[in-house]
Amino acid sequence: MSEHSDQVKHSAYEPGQSSEAAAKAFYEVADQRRTVRQFSDRAVSREVIETIIRAAGTAPSGAHKQPWRFIAISNPELKKKVRMAIEKVEVEFYEKKASDRWLDDLEEFETSADKSYLDTVPWIIVVMALRTTDDGGQVYYLNESVGLATGLLLTAANHAGLSTVTQTPSPMGFLRELLGRPENERPWMVIPVGYASDDCTVPDLGRKSLGEISVFEE
C-alpha cells in the first residue's frame, strides 16, 4: 500500500453575498475578456505575472500531478527569437498548410503570419504540458489538466486588467529547444500577456446564448 496524505478540513470560499450575486459579478468580469492582438508596451510587473501563474497552478489535475510549467519571457532578445521562430511556422501555415476553408474562417479575425505584437507585448508565457513528471513519473488527463490551468491563467489575467491571445503555432515543438527546456516539457500554448493598446480593436463578435450552450434537465 502506498502512503496517502492526511485529510484536512476544507472551508469553501465564502463570497460574502448571495451565490447569485457573486456568480453574476464574476460572469460580468469574464464576459469582458476578449482575445487581443494589439498590445501596449506598458510594463507589467513580474509580480502580476507570478500571481496569475499561481492562479493557473490552482487548477485541478489528474491525480494532482500538476503537469504544467509556465515559461514567462520578458527578455527582449529572447522574445525576438520566439517571434522569429513562430513567424516562420505561421508563414508555412498561411502560405501552404491552411485549407481555403480555414483561411475563410479566419478572415474576420484579420490574423496573419505577422506577429509583431510579440515585440511590443511585455510578457510571453509559453505553457508547457509535462508528458511525465519531472522525475519521470506518469501523468493523467494531460490535455484536460493543462487546459484547465490555462483557462485560469487567461481568467486571472483578464481579472487583473490584462489582455491575452491564445496562440498555437503548429507544430510548436521548436519552442522546447529554443527555450532550452527538458524533454518532458511539450510546448502546448503561447500566451502573450500585456495591456491592450489604447486603439485596440476586436472583431464585433457575439457569444452563443445560454440556450445554445446549455441543456437543463430538471
Q: Could you identify the residue written with the cell 450552450? A: 213
Count residues near ligand IYR (CB under 6 A): 8
Among positions 7-66, residues that touch ligand IYR (CB under 6 A) are none
Distance CA 113, CA 133 (A): 34
Q: Could you identify the residue written with the cell 508547457? A: 128
Closest CB 213 distance from ligand IYR, rounded Å: 18
The Cα diameter of the chain in Å comes to 60
Taking each helix axis as running N to C, give the angle between helix 19-31 and helix 142-159, from 0 to 180 degrees, rounded to the nearest 10.
Answer: 90
The residue among 55 and 165 lying less far from ligand IYR, judged by its C-beta, is 165
SS3 126: strand
Residues 109-128: x where in contact with ligand IYR by CB under 6 A, - otherwise, as a string: x-x-----------------
Residue 106 touching ligand IYR (CB under 6 A): yes
Residue 168 touching ligand IYR (CB under 6 A): yes
Q: Supply 75's cell numbers.
A: 527578455
The residue among 51 and 120 lying less far from ligand IYR, judged by its C-beta, is 120
